[in-house]
Copies of this chain bind each other. A is one copy, B any other.
Amino acid sequence: MEHPHRAGGPAEGERSPVAEIIAIGSELLTPQRLDTNSLFLTSQLNALGVAVTAKHVVGDDRARLASAIQTAVERSEYVFLSGGLGPTEDDVTREAAAAALGRTLEFSAAQEQILIQRFAQIRRPMAENNRRQVYLVAGAEALPNPHGTAPGQVCRTVRGALFLLPGPPREFKAMVADQVVPRLRAELPPRVIRVRSFRVTGMGESQLDALIAPVYSKYQNPSTTVLSSLGDLWVNLYAQCDTEAEAEALLREVGDPIAELLGDRVYSTCADDTLELVVGRLLRERKATVATAESCTGGLVAARLTEYAGSSDFFVASFVTYSDAQKQSLLGVPREMIAQHTAVSEPVAKAMCVAAQQKTGATYALSTTGYAGPEGGTEENPVGTVFIGLATPSAAHVTKLIYGMDRARIRTLAVQTALDLLRRELLAL
């Protein structure tokens, strides 16, 4: 279940102004390319209280583009075009925008002068086709482009405005930041936006949603999003109000009951935290260290623990012992124990974490042993069974989990669970 539940912008019911973004270029319709300009623009628009309600990618096809622009300006206050402002025949954005608005294109002598100066500055001859770039949609205001040859344009429309912006990301970003945002800020009502985040592990997305949807779904403001990747969930509440106090009050009203429902499954309320960052921080605060002894996770627990700079403060060492022989020789797991219980068993998981702890002198040690599949497994412990051991200064516990999934997901979830077991131990939960 990968999909979340509610857009980050203001709720549409309020009918705040909304935006659509159209990226232009046949190369954006190939298997290799994605429009990424829209991400930066979306973040800037959301901060101004404008939600993006649709994004489109259209090829270098004038008629198709004109029709897409026309539909968009009819239903959305702000429409942004990116790309297709270059000097070649394939660059059809100016013509399509003029056609969509029923206007003509007009030669701008002022823009021509700017372009001539620009080419003089970079000491390159201006090609004849660059003159295509100094035509403006009738009534449009030109937006300076210090990073390229194509000026942007903004045309007032019945509902709001249509922006023509250059496609190259550097030019696009600068024009959004320097030209678009100040113009929108001047015409939009001032709003305060506050966010409250919960990073959650130990439950699935549908389980989380069943738990908290009864709370958040009653509110359009704050709006709620739930993002999820395997074993990791991210709940964000966005409040948009006239004052900071109002926004904070709304976030308490909706966020406090959610916090209560989620309880200690919330591993952080910082949007940018990850589980390994939180675990590392807890270890560092306690001047504690960790080691791992991994079988089915093949080094992934260690890799997560060393993901961030400074992990040498708390991460000591790891053993990846894949075979029975290596469990014996590197970790001293007794041969008879493996013979009696198999390598995927509670006693072996316990012996592994205790050995890692003792051999490295770490405060804590995590171990994993399981059947990641697709082969292996027994009647009692089928594929997907993972034993996770945790040695603490006073004891060693083993948790048995069964994941009904494929190899990659079993490994990922086992790593996440191991890290969460350590987090809970460190917080005495």
Chain A contact residues, CB within 8 Å of chain B: 1-9, 12, 25-36, 39-40, 42-43, 46, 51-61, 64, 68, 71, 83-84, 86-91, 121-124, 127, 129, 148, 167-169, 206, 209-210, 213, 217, 225-227, 292, 294, 297-303, 305-312, 315-323, 326, 329-330, 359-360, 372-375, 402, 404-405, 407-408
Contact = CB atoms under 8 A, between A and B. Distances in A.
A316 B323 contact: yes
Contacts of A30: 4, 6-8, 42, 46, 225
A360 to B, nearest CB: 6
Contacts of A326: 316-317, 360
Nearest to A271: B32
Given A90-B6, A319-B318, A320-B318, A54 B60 contact: no
Contact of A226 (B32, B53, B167): B32
A279 to B, nearest CB: 14
A49 to B, nearest CB: 14
B317 A330 contact: yes
Contacts of A226: 32
A227 B27 CA distance: 8
6 contacts: A32-B227, A299-B320, A306-B322, A309-B407, A317-B321, A326-B360
Contacts of A123: 402, 404
Nearest to A59: B7
Considering the complex of A and B, which 5 residue pairs feature the smallest CB-CB distances, nearest first?
A299-B299, A298-B306, A299-B302, A318-B320, A31-B43
Given A29-B51, A90-B3, A303-B300, A360 B167 contact: no
Given A42-B30, A225-B27, A317-B319, A12 B61 contact: yes
A355 to B, nearest CB: 12
A369 to B, nearest CB: 12
Contacts of A43: 31
A6 B59 CA distance: 8
Nearest to A25: B3
Contacts of A26: 4-8, 225
A217 B51 contact: no
Nearest to A321: B317
Contacts of A292: 299, 320
A25 B4 contact: yes
A42 B316 CA distance: 46
